[in-house]
């Protein structure tokens, strides 16, 4: 597995594990092909050579076996907690706790993969590091194209539409009156895509610096694992300990308020839609965990 920053891995896991675009009926199918999807993703970043392909596939298979055996029941429990919160009156603290749980699970997965990440970091050739750098640059260009197009109003609208895609997945369609309230809460979040882009580039630079150091100094596995562990921890801790903490805190709080707004204005039918979708995922996670592996 390549040493890709935690935000990208979290997005990948959400796609693979929750099958967001396909719906709950495809979750089992998506997860059962998740090892292949993750392999393709890795290959897209570093262009694996023939030797690496063999053991990277093996490592990913082992990671998925561990994940299926130890993590899926926990995911079901997280969704059961969300069901209970939706049936009651969730608070900002509830939502931030849920987010912290997702971060914790992501960090656990990355730490579990430390030996495999170190193996790949130590095996990277100069041309593969160059490929990684080019992939980062292409991702940044795509971010600018999508998130930073037009003036502030255009960027606010694009961000709102992305949020609505997720809310409609959970709750179904909203009325124009509901959409207006959601748009107001969405726009209340601080908007500064320059900050998000700079944070992306900061993480990417740290990753490139790490793999270049490993290659240049020919570090052993233990030293490489220590470097990666520090990188992962620093990436997660940055939200709490950086010079931008005030911005991050404001964004997190206002995003929680956005979600609370949606929950508050949702009709009984919309909440039932969300409950049904969550139950479908709970059932799928439990079924996947019970399958032979």
Encode the chain (293 residues) as per-residue pLDDT tens digits.
444 444 444 443 433 333 333 344 467 777 888 889 889 999 999 999 999 999 999 999 999 999 999 999 988 998 899 899 999 888 988 888 888 888 888 889 899 999 999 999 999 999 999 999 999 999 999 999 999 999 999 999 999 999 999 899 899 999 999 999 999 999 999 999 999 999 999 999 999 999 999 999 999 999 999 999 999 999 989 888 889 999 999 998 999 999 999 999 999 999 999 999 999 989 999 999 988 76
Name which of 241, 238, 159, 239 is nearest 193 in CA terms.
159
C-alpha distances in angstroms, 280 versus 13, 18, 69, 171, 276? 18, 10, 19, 14, 6
Which residues touch 129 (CB under 8 Å, ≥6 apart)?
46, 208, 211, 212, 215
| Tokens describing residue 69 | 């055996």
- 22 SS3 class: coil
For residue 103, what pLDDT is reported? 83
Would you state the torsion angle of the CA atoms of residues 248, 92, 280, 174, taken in this order, to the nearest 10 degrees?
-90
| Tokens describing residue 174 | 């909203």
Contact between residue 110 and residue 9 where contact means Cβ atoms under 8 Å apart: yes
Q: CA angle at residue 43 from 37 to 47, to 5 degrees?
A: 165
Instruction: Specify the long-range contacts of residues 144-152, CB closer than 8 Å, at least 24 apart.
Output: 144/197, 147/193, 147/196, 147/197, 148/193, 148/194, 148/197, 152/191
d(CA 156, CA 148): 10
| Tokens describing residue 289 | 């965990």
Taking the mean position of all CA atoms in its chain, how far away is CA 94?
19
Q: Where are the alpha helices (DSSP H) in the chain?
A: 6-18, 27-32, 34-46, 50-70, 72-87, 92-112, 114-123, 126-147, 152-171, 176-187, 193-217, 221-241, 245-265, 268-290
What is the pTM (predicted TM-score) of this model? 0.87
Residue 251: phi, psi to the nearest 5? -70, -45
Contact between residue 92 and residue 260 where contact means Cβ atoms under 8 Å apart: yes
Instruction: Specify the long-range contacts of residues 28-34, CB closer than 8 Å, at least 24 apart.
Output: 28/284, 28/287, 28/288, 31/68, 31/284, 31/288, 32/288, 34/64
d(CA 114, CA 6): 13
Contact between residue 265 and residue 248 where contact means Cβ atoms under 8 Å apart: no
């Amino acid at each position: 597995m390549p040493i890709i920053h935690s935000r990208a891995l979290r997005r990948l896991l959400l796609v693979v594990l929750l099958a967001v675009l396909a719906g709950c009926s495809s979750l089992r199918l998506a997860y059962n092909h998740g090892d292949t999807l993750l392999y393709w993703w890795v290959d897209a970043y570093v262009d694996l050579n023939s030797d690496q392909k063999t053991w990277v596939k093996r490592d990913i298979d082992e990671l998925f076996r561990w994940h299926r055996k130890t993590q899926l029941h926990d995911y079901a429990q997280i969704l059961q907690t969300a069901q209970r919160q939706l049936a009651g009156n969730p608070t900002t603290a509830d939502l931030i706790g849920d987010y912290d749980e997702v971060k914790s699970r992501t960090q656990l997965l990355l730490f579990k993969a430390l030996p495999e990440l170190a193996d790949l970091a130590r095996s990277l050739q100069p041309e593969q590091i160059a490929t990684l750098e080019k992939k980062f640059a292409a991702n940044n260009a795509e971010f600018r194209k999508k998130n930073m197009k037009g003036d502030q109003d255009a960027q606010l609208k694009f961000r709102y539409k992305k949020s609505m895609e997720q809310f409609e997945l959970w709750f179904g369609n909203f009325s124009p009156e509901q959409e207006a309230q959601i748009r107001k809460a969405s726009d209340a979040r601080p908007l500064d895509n320059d900050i998000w882009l700079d944070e992306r580039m900061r993480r990417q630079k740290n990753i490139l610096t790490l793999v270049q150091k490993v290659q240049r100094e020919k570090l052993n596995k233990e030293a490489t694992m220590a470097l990666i562990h520090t990188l992962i921890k620093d990436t997660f801790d940055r939200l709490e300990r950086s010079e931008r903490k005030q911005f991050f805190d404001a964004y997190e709080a206002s995003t929680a308020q956005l979600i609370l707004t949606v929950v508050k204005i949702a009709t009984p039918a919309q909440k039932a839609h969300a409950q049904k979708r969550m139950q479908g995922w709970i059932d799928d996670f439990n079924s996947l965990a019970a399958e032979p592996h």
